[in-house]
Structure 1
Amino acid sequence: MSPTVDDLRNEIREALGRYERIESTAFTKEALGALCDAVGYDIETNPFPPKSEMRAGVLRTIGALEDVDPTQADRPFRKAELEAIAAALEEQ
């Protein structure tokens, strides 16, 4: 059985040293900031950029997007994107 979106989010959170969440939630700005750091996408952290910009940066860094275009990441990560992120974190 393949992991659910919630399972993948929690796997990524744990890989970042963050805590597992029982309820189904998208990543917070702080978690996205940690994810950007983990994949090597530089951001300003005070204040954090918009979530869509951080998601686009993560996807660009792992090769899932050609450009950092926030309009292509204006929604939570999809399952295939979460799988790619989890795989990229495992490689590091």
Structure 2
Amino acid sequence: MAGIGAPELVIIALVLVLAGCFIGFVIFVSGRVARARRPFDGSVSHGSFDLATKVRGLKSQGRYEQAVLLVRGETGFGEEEARSFVDRA
């Protein structure tokens, strides 16, 4: 029985690197999916006061849809979460 040579070691190393990349990708994607499915709890991480102020200003001008688009762009919320935020602001 022959030992493991250099070509076999290179193949094993490549398989391990590719497996690590795949696992990292799966973890990244699952985190993004979990964030996207997170229910809106009424809070925005940073700058929520500024965002809420801008939203109230747009609502007072009758620009509801633009307020929703602003919230979606600033927070990454989906349509439903953004409308909920605008309604509460």
TM-score (norm 1): 0.25
Q: Which has the higher contact order (CA 8 A, sep 6+)?
A: 1
Higher Cα Rg, which structure: 2
